[in-house]
Amino acid sequence: MGFASSVIFLTYPKELCRVLFSCPKAGVLLFWSALPCILEYWLFTIMAILNGAGFQNKVLHCTLANILIMTACILFLVPIQRLNIYGYVIGFAISSGYVVLKGISILRKQMEIKLNLSEIIMKPLFCSALMLVSIKSLNNYLILYSTTRFNMIISYTAGLAIYFFFLLLLKIINPMRTKKNMNC
């Protein structure tokens, strides 16, 4: 989901903010929020795994580190006139990145988990690239040959459908495995 959200934030952020929030200027902030979105998704996933594995003390440490790093970045980066609100986005990325790396380190050391980079990064990234291409292509087509004012919403909906289709096709999301795990 982090990759999908990032693609949505990266494609047409100004238009998205204009349609949803009546504030196209917020589009630049939305664009720069794309990377932290991926990191935040991984952060919550890793924290849930650590919590479920009985590492509540590590979860507490990571949570406190996340809060302290974010607070420090807000205090020191936001007042810099050239950064302003982007200092928050930078802090968001730094704090989430630290916790993700720390969490992966704990998982690898304590639980001896081998991470399959193809499953957790490459395949979702491939699906995201297809989503990006489909959103851009469909939106450009609709702009040229349509009079609807819902171009972006139609493009994003089609892009998300393609994203989830390929997640299922590549077996990143496996409904049968999920159903089996839920019945345990």
Q: Give the tens place of pLDDT for each residue, 32-43.
A: 888 888 888 889
| Cβ neighbours of 142 (radius 10 Å) | 17
Closest-CA residue to 155 (of 179, 132, 184):
132
pLDDT of residue 180: 67
- Signed CA dihedral, 120, 126, 129, 135: sign only: negative
Q: Are 96 and 36 in contact (CB under 8 A)?
A: yes
pLDDT tier for residue 178 given thresholds of 50, 70 and 90: low
Report, as an integer, the average pLDDT of 91-120: 86
Give the separation between CA 78 and CA 71, rounded to whole angstroms: 10
Q: Is the pLDDT of residue 184 over 60?
A: no
Q: Is the pLDDT of residue 179 over 90?
A: no
- Taking CA atoms, 74 is separated from 6, 67, 71, 90, 91, in Å, by 22, 10, 5, 9, 7
pTM for the full predicted model: 0.74
